[in-house]
Structure 1
């Protein structure tokens, strides 16, 4: 997807709780195996003990609005993405967030696309902005809290450990001077891989009827017993290649464009990135792959928006420079965003 008019990323926020769960403690308390902790490469994970995921999203949304100077009443659409339980059974966290921040003129929309939800919400926000006339704002939030006993942040998945966090990104169209420009956001999918998170389980009547703890390792093992690992590894390589090439094409860029300064990796475990992602990217683009997630772990739906925040917070791009941000989620779906720093005034 290439925006029909320039879309500016006006402000962002990454809200992290103050508490941390260290890998050292997790190993000592036998909550994760030593070799698994080593392969993950996360020294610690942020943990929200006393704040819900939607409340974290409200904090992030306030921060993004405050830093932009934009009033909540000016937001026309609010999209909230999440992966894990939001605190109530039949309820819209997107409407709660809009109400809490005073975005009473916004249309709240909830997005559930597992770990690719933040990228999907950004893409839908751009599409919604294109349908309106005049200056307009869209606010994208994500929030996930991976609490025991229903979720084991160290052991519920292969190749990823899960940190609690919320993000917010304020988009506007048309973009203003000084905005980080969203040049393209490309998404591809391989729906035949959905069974990796279903396994051979029957359809349940209520949450966690098949397993008291969310255990993606278990469903993936069931899938791999029937299909082996080769088809998934090939699909992952092919889709990474496809989504990067598609994003570059949408943005009108060559793979060796010297202004591309980096390719930001999803916040997965170190070994997963080194084995599956980095070798594929080296054959695709000249820019270096970078990992900014070692201190947070995987943030559920928030990896790509958190990357946008780090780009702005660290001034990681010089005037006119370009960055690629990658994301992936169960289903499976892959996304690649192309952002460009504003030119020097």
Structure 2
């Protein structure tokens, strides 16, 4: 979908202290062989700071950078992969109260690693159909420092080829229909719902295993499902094939709709990885050199789930890695399987 009047007016990420991977290996939390093979150097760890607090802090920064007033935010969307706070409580309203206040709708999303791009798409629909609305706040955050998930080994056993450790962070973007230093040229979403069972595995849907005190082990859940239902190994190849085809087609679609080609893409934001092989599998089918990704940034922070995209974009702007006229391809894929892509044009270099 081509977007002619959608801008990112402000973007910010709040990242806690980085914990060295070498120390995790020394303490026996992370296998030394996996650490060497997967390439991560450190991971962001928030300690006792909650996910919604991280999101609110990022939201305050993004709103300030946007130059907009809190009363101009007509919609607040918040997402997180892991638990955000007490059951029956909704963190979108916490974020709204601490960033903008007011009475605009505050809505929670549960879309995993594509949530921010999904949120931008939903905000675009709201802003283009409501003549009184012109700006929205989208936030995302997670803190994985709880006993029911092991940030170092949650994906152990699943042969995705990327390897993953979970980092904590909060991110925020302010989108506007009236201007900003970044213009969203095109945006597209899709899904491969036929593979949702892979992420669900053979675990019971009710009661949810987490409520019984069972640790979330996504990798072994997937691996055991494949072993039980497809011992010959064809399922993993099929998933990989379908995912690569779908995300490549989606990226080509948004580039075409934005009127740019692979040679026009200056940098790429993506799901963080510690190893260059993932970037090669992601970008080479598009004709984009893997070096245009954010390997070093990602391997220093861990996989930040829905905040990967925000930190990547904020980093590119803050460090001056992109200039007016450059184009950034944003690529995300998440559990069950959702996919999202956008092409963003740099219009200005703000003093952030």
- Same-fold status (TM-score > 0.5): yes
**Corresponding position: 1:214 with 2:216:** yes
Offset at 1:265? 3.0
Rounded Cα–Cα distance in structure 2 between residues aligned with 1:105 and 1:24: 47
Q: How far does the alpha carbon of each residue in 1:91-136 deviate from its partner, in whole angstroms, 9 at most, with x for none?
A: 2110111112233132111110122222211221122211122561
Q: CA 1:145–1:172 in structure 2 vs 1: closer, same or farther (change >3 Å)?
A: same
Q: CA 1:200–1:78 in structure 2 vs 1: closer, same or farther (change >3 Å)?
A: same
The residue correspondences of 1:57-206 to structure 2 (distance < 5 A) are: 57-133=55-131, 136-158=134-156, 159-176=163-180, 179-206=181-208
Rounded Cα–Cα distance in structure 1 between residues aligned with 2:144 and 2:5: 36
Offset at 1:277? 4.3
Residue equivalent to 2:14: 15
**Corresponding position: 1:265 with 2:263:** no
Offset at 1:185? 1.6
Residue equivalent to 2:159: none
**Corresponding position: 1:255 with 2:254:** no
Rounded Cα–Cα distance in structure 2 between residues aligned with 1:125 and 1:39: 40
Larger deviation, residues 163-172 vs 234-243: 234-243
Rounded Cα–Cα distance in structure 2 between residues aligned with 1:341 and 1:153: 34
Residue equivalent to 2:287: 285
Rounded Cα–Cα distance in structure 2 between residues aligned with 1:92 and 1:74: 22
1:295 to 292, 297, 300: 300
Between structures 1 and 2, the one with greater helix share: 2
Contact 2:325 2:346 in 1 (8 A): yes
SS at match of 2:343: strand
Q: CA 1:70–1:183 in structure 2 vs 1: closer, same or farther (change >3 Å)?
A: same
Contact 2:40 2:273 in 1 (8 A): no
Contact 2:189 2:339 in 1 (8 A): yes
Rounded Cα–Cα distance in structure 2 between residues aligned with 1:8 and 1:84: 29
Residue equivalent to 2:36: 38
Q: How far does the alpha carbon of each residue in 1:217-259 deviate from its partner, in whole angstroms, 9 at most, with x for none?
A: 1211123212332111111211221121111122122334xx3
Q: Taking structure 2 as the reference length, what is the TM-score of the superposition?
A: 0.89
SS at match of 2:112: coil
Rounded Cα–Cα distance in structure 1 between residues aligned with 2:226 and 2:68: 49
Q: Taking structure 1 as the reference length, what is the TM-score of the superposition?
A: 0.91
Q: CA 1:131–1:207 in structure 2 vs 1: closer, same or farther (change >3 Å)?
A: farther
Larger deviation, residues 8-17 vs 64-73: 64-73
SS at match of 2:53: helix
2:243 to 219, 236, 242: 236
How many residues are aligned here?
335
Contact 1:186 1:250 in 2 (8 A): no
Rounded Cα–Cα distance in structure 2 between residues aligned with 1:60 and 1:343: 21
Offset at 1:206? 4.1
Offset at 1:316? 2.3
Over 4 Å off, 4+ runs: none
Q: How far does the alpha carbon of each residue in 1:23-49 deviate from its partner, in whole angstroms, 9 at most, with x for none?
A: 111111111111211233221111111
Q: CA 1:135–1:85 in structure 2 vs 1: closer, same or farther (change >3 Å)?
A: closer
Rounded Cα–Cα distance in structure 1 between residues aligned with 2:183 and 2:282: 26
SS at match of 1:310: helix
SS at match of 1:295: helix
RMSD of the alignment, in Å?
Answer: 1.9
